[in-house]
Amino acid sequence: MGPTRPPSTERNAGQAHGAERPAPAGTGAGETAPGPLLIDTRAVQPALFSTEAQPPSHDPMQETDPSAPDATTQKTDRLPLSEKIGFGLGSFHDMWGHWLYSGMAYLVFNIYLGVSPKWIARALLFKLLFEAVWDSVFGWWSDNARTKFGRRRPFILAGGLLAGLILPMLFQTRAGWTDLQYFGFMVSSLALLVPIMSCFYMPYQSLGAELTPDYHERTAVQAARNAIQKFPELAMFAAGAFCTAGVWVSATWSEAPRRLLTLFSQTLGWFINIGASLVSLDFARFGVLMKTIFGWAPAVEGAKPNILIGAQVFTTVLGTILVVAAVLMFALTRERYYGKLVAGHQGKISIKDTLWKALSCGPFRANLSVAIAYGIGTSMISTLGYYCTIFYVCKGNVAAGTSWNFWMGLAGMLFGFCGIPVYSKLSHLLGKKRAMMAVQICAIAGSLASWWLYNPAIEWLQVISCGLTAFTGAGFWILYGSMTADVVDYDELATHQRREGAFSACGSWILKLGNAIGSWASGEILARTGFDATLGGNQSPHAIFSMRILFATIPVIGSVVALLLLFKFPLTPARMDEIRKQLEARRGRV
């Protein structure tokens, strides 16, 4: 169970394509490949602990020796592949419901419709305020819901279906309005989107902590989710190219189906030609093909694509996918704890528990603090990465920088896939806490390496830099979600309640606030480097140096802080085994 998160954690990929890059996703995260789904997860079996139904005799925040004998995860604790896939499909809603709008809003309302960026920024601020209310409401509501289908899955189905229907409505506007009218439309549409996404996402995040009681299987579940998340990320990176494709020049809604078929045929032809060039080893042809994203022919010089129609068609296609994903999630997942521990057994939970009592849990504060430090550190340089690519590596060539950003995003996806089995294995060998420390150390090394990897003489090296960041980001969001599930067990031992919704709502909103602060700070930092947009590729040496050094060092500070905070996280493998034994002695197995 983790927060909503950005599409990935590569630090500047996708900026030009409309994907906001604070630090998800997802939400989270941040990341079905056979590797992570077939992880041989194992439970840790330490020396025998007391199974008396009573609190631990020592301070519950005291850390236990993490070393413990290994034993294979019990068969009853393992999730079938179908259920892991069903849970992972929720990443489509996370990516497209939370992060897609923020990037596409500037593409549609600013670049195409001419709305001032300040009105868009204000509308996005209202989105954050709406989330503060609705995340808490649905976290509390799902904790207290009692239905024959459980307390999470009905919300997931309803919110998931409605999300698919509302997504195409976000851009159902037209040209010729005033800025204030567009602002009113944006705020009104977000006022509908946010409660729908909270209805889906808070129960969905809560479900992640209820799928299995096993320490290592929880990491395997998060690994599966992060692997599946790479597919909706691809759509995030392609959003800008889709909406600005030449096929939308002079387009109208009546022609949209025919033009969409044209775009589909271009894509199919592109993949066929890519395959043919690889089989024939015609790398020159392959290089030419790779310059056009998915074969989508750009508009001829002087022609202006109807970006609004492109965005409406794009979100309609994505909305249809969300509807299908919601039905599959409802059918493939189950609530393991509901029948035995919640329905007819657990009393109602106060709404104040969704924030204040959640924050009173020591391990939750420690885990959340780590995520805040890491997330703010990466989101603060989201803008700097994009500008370093264009104005340092590409010498002010925006078209070249935009092309590189797409391939950096694609590299981030591939490296993120590679990070999933690596950090899953580290978690199994070292425990989640030590594996998370390894994530932060690797993140520090990757950030410092960007000083050399962003190189105008060897432009493709920046692709490796983005890939390294995504590699560590995959590990972070896998472990953060799995560690939060452990926190819920710790809290159950202390409070006799399962409050997954409370922790989901509290953690999600605080991390959204942290990312918002970091994204705001990124603009302030850029302004103080001496960057002058009117100079194009002729920026002063001081401005270039300032952007580069801040881009390389700010995430290091965040990771160092996160590394120090990790020492306060007490839930080691042995400690969690002790907690599980005490819980099962008190209320039985689930």
What are the chain's domains? Answer: 29-57+80-244+305-587 (1.20.1250.20)
What pTM, to 2 d.p., does this model score?
Answer: 0.78
pLDDT, residue 395, reads 85
Q: How many Cβ atoms are within 10 Å of 57's Cβ, its own excluded? A: 8
Sequence-ordered list of residues with C-beta below 8 angstroms from that of 311, at least 6 positions apart, any chain:
104, 107, 108, 171, 243
The tens-digit pLDDT sequence of the chain (590 residues) is 444 555 544 455 444 433 333 333 333 333 333 333 333 333 333 332 333 334 444 444 444 444 444 456 788 888 999 999 999 999 999 999 988 998 788 889 988 898 887 888 888 888 888 888 898 889 888 888 888 888 899 999 999 999 999 999 999 998 889 999 999 999 999 999 999 999 999 999 999 888 888 989 999 999 999 999 989 988 887 888 888 888 888 888 888 889 899 989 988 988 898 889 888 888 788 878 877 778 888 777 777 889 899 999 999 999 999 999 999 999 999 888 766 666 556 667 677 656 677 888 899 999 999 999 998 888 888 778 878 888 899 888 776 776 787 788 888 888 999 999 999 999 999 999 999 999 999 999 999 999 999 999 998 899 999 999 999 999 999 999 999 999 999 998 988 888 888 888 888 888 888 877 877 787 778 878 888 877 877 889 998 999 999 999 999 999 999 999 999 999 999 999 999 999 888 887 87
Question: Helices in 360-431 by DSSP H: which ranges?
Answer: 362-379, 382-387, 398-430
Element (H, E) at 71: strand 70-72
Please state the φ and ψ torsions of residue 208, each to the nearest 5 degrees.
-60, -25
* Residue 322 dihedral angles phi and psi, to the nearest 5°: -65, -40
- pLDDT, one tens digit per residue, over 159-216 is 999 999 999 999 999 888 999 999 999 999 999 999 999 999 999 999 988 888 898 9
Closest to 141 (Cα-Cα) out of 206, 78, 89:
206
The confidence score (pLDDT) of residue 480 equals: 93
For β-strands 42-44 and 70-72, DSSP reports them as antiparallel
Contact 499, 488 (CB under 8 A): yes
- Structure tokens that stand for 501 in this block: 């919704």
Quote the distance between the C-alpha of residue 243 and its chain's center.
22
* Terminal-residue alpha carbon distance, the chain: 18
Q: What's the alpha-carbon Rg for the chain, to the nearest Å?
A: 24
